[in-house]
Chain A
Amino acid sequence: AQTVTQSQPEMSVQEAETVTLSCTYDTSESDYYLFWYKQPPSRQMILVIRQEAYKQQNATENRFSVNFQKAAKSFSLKISDSQLGDAAMYFCAYSGGSNYKLTFGKGTLLTVNP
């Protein structure tokens, strides 16, 4: 079974600084997708960034980028120029195989200090 591990229950960053959230996963599939979702106190799950495993190039979305290491099964999220609105719970998620099920990590609570 696929598993997703987020080893940092909580992280904090100063406004305008950079922070990296860690995620590792375990799978026997060769073709899969990885995601980072953000959940602010409003509880809405918001897609932050998506990575296809067959693509070697790391995905980027404005201030958000990933470091995807397929051999190491590592998928970290870097947030640059952190803003107060980035404060939220961040979930790493995996999807692979034919059923498209998302398997989530336990989440990392990010605090942004002014």
Chain B
Amino acid sequence: SAVISQKPSRDICQRGTSLTIQCQVDSQVTMMFWYRQQPGQSLTLIATANQGSEATYESGFVIDKFPISRPNLTFSTLTVSNMSPEDSSIYLCSVMTGTDTQYFGPGTRLTVL
């Protein structure tokens, strides 16, 4: 499986600010995803990060709030914009290899005050 890193691992932010989370993979992958895990909850898909085109967002998530970039096959960023305390969550990126299996990064724990 691929080795996936995320930066930062955790952050504490003030409401109204934005945070960009980076996801780096050690090999080229076809598909990358961003998930949110709210406190005590399961994971919910935010969007699929498409290389060279706009991300595909799930219902309830919009580009203005969660802009995503994917400039190449090994890197993606997720920005959480105009943050509020309700955005406090763990944000995880995942990648899919040719086996239709998703592997996850270590996650970014975000706290918004």
Partner of A43, one of B99, B100, B107: B107
A35 interface residue per 8 A CB criterion: yes
* Cα(A38)–Cα(B35), bound, Å: 16
Total number of A-B contacts with CB less than 8 angstroms? 55
Contact residues on B (Cβ < 8 Å of other chain), bracket? 20 to 34
Contacting pair B102 A102 (CB below 8 A)? yes
Contacting pair B92 A95 (CB below 8 A)? no
Given A33-B100, A43-B106, A99-B48, is A106 in contact with B42 using a C-beta cutoff of 8 Å?
A: yes
Q: How many chain A residues touch the partner (CB < 8 A)?
A: 20
Given A43-B107, A45-B92, A99-B56, is A104 in contact with B42 using a C-beta cutoff of 8 Å?
A: yes
- Cβ–Cβ < 8 Å partners of A91 in chain B: 42-43
Contacting pair B43 A100 (CB below 8 A)? no
Distance between B80 CB and nearest chain A CB, rounded to angstroms: 17
Contacting pair A43 B90 (CB below 8 A)? yes
Partner of A104, one of B1, B33, B43, B99: B43
